[in-house]
Amino acid sequence: MTKAIIGRKLGMTQIFDEDGNVTPVTVIEAGPCTVTQKKTVEADGYEALQLGFGDIAERKVNKPAKGHFAKAGAEPKKYLKEFALSGEYNVGDVIKADVFAEGDVVDVSGISKGKGTAGTIKRYGAHRLPMSHGAGPVHRSVGSTGMNSDPSRVFKGTRMPGRMGNEKITVQNLVIVKVDAENNVIAVKGAVPGNKGGIVTVTAAVKGGNK
């Protein structure tokens, strides 16, 4: 991985090009992120950088965290995430939105919107029973979940009602349409997971697109 940053989803809008074509984009507040720890092969067995995003009052940070930030010479941060980054970054360096450029292809990860408990029709797109000819009152029921005699149990992974959403989702190969380095804002073509104000991570695409 060559590029990564923590950001906050600000919402969606549209961008028009010179020919009048409209592009739906998601606006992300990307950074600034401070390098709060550097993992090395010699000390930790692998290379990685821990980035901190979002200032937080010092009174809200416990003593171990205070020592961690003091060692890095950084202000307390609300969100910490580790990325498998390798490069010339050192503890205390600040990574801003200009680490990306227009045209870069990225993967964006975030926590999807929670839908609460949902049935199989909403959760998995299952079919309902006919609405006539005596099929009720179980039109939206899950139906049979297993055999009675053999194997006399429900297999793991059977699609059944349950919690929908509120899980980590990664949308791959999104193109950065615009970078506002002064305000630490980037515009990514398409939609990204989560609510407005949700925390997301933006990383260089792992499945191609970048030269």
For 97-143, the pLDDT digits (tens) are 888 888 889 999 999 999 999 999 999 999 998 888 888 788 898 88
Question: Are residues 172 and 143 part of one domain?
Answer: no
Question: Are residues 95 and 134 part of one domain?
Answer: no
Question: Are residues 176 and 73 part of one domain?
Answer: yes
Question: Are residues 61 and 149 part of one domain?
Answer: no
pLDDT for position 149: 85
pLDDT for position 155: 92
Q: pLDDT-based confidence at 1, cuts 50/70/90?
A: low
The total number of structural domains that make up the chain:
2
99 within domain boundaries: yes
210 within domain boundaries: no
Question: Are residues 104 and 81 part of one domain?
Answer: yes
Query: How far is CA 127 from each of CA 121, 133, 139, 211, rounded to the nearest angstrom?
Result: 6, 17, 9, 44
Q: pLDDT-based confidence at 162, cuts 50/70/90?
A: very high
The pTM assigned to this predicted structure is 0.81
Which residue range(s) make up the domain with 78?
4-114+168-204
Q: Of residues 168 and 150, which shows the higher confidence score?
A: 168
CATH number for position 97: 2.40.30.10
Question: Are residues 107 and 24 part of one domain?
Answer: yes
Question: Are residues 106 and 44 part of one domain?
Answer: yes
Answer yes or no: is pLDDT of 166 > 90: yes
The residue among 156, 171, 57, 152 whose CA lies nearest residue 112 is 171
